[in-house]
Structure 1
């Protein structure tokens, strides 16, 4: 059966993909600035900034995977 809630408009798909890029950039920036703030507050090592940025990348990627999974409707055969 076809999902009546699904929108196959190409503009909608382009907007969705563009939004996913924005979400990923937001997560990376939040990870970077949070780690930089933490380094400044507790005078921690500078490599925490890299860890915060990579954590933002991982969390953002996970969020995008969940977003795509929801958009595809898990295609239940």
Structure 2
């Protein structure tokens, strides 16, 4: 399958979204800890978000590598 710069941009947006989910969940965890609430479920969800980020990054990198130098330039510009 051939990928386009648009595909790479979508993949980068997925990475950014996953990073936002992680940041928000870290804030939730901090509030729960401060309140003395149990955090097991929130920690499990954070781990799932982190795994999702890893997948999103691998997909983004795979698409970028398929685009060759053009993909790497766009990936650097987005960073």
Q: Provide the TM-score with structure 2 as the length reference.
A: 0.48
Find the structure with the greater CA-based Rg. Answer: 1
Q: Provide the TM-score with structure 1 as the length reference.
A: 0.49
Q: Which has the higher helix share?
A: 2
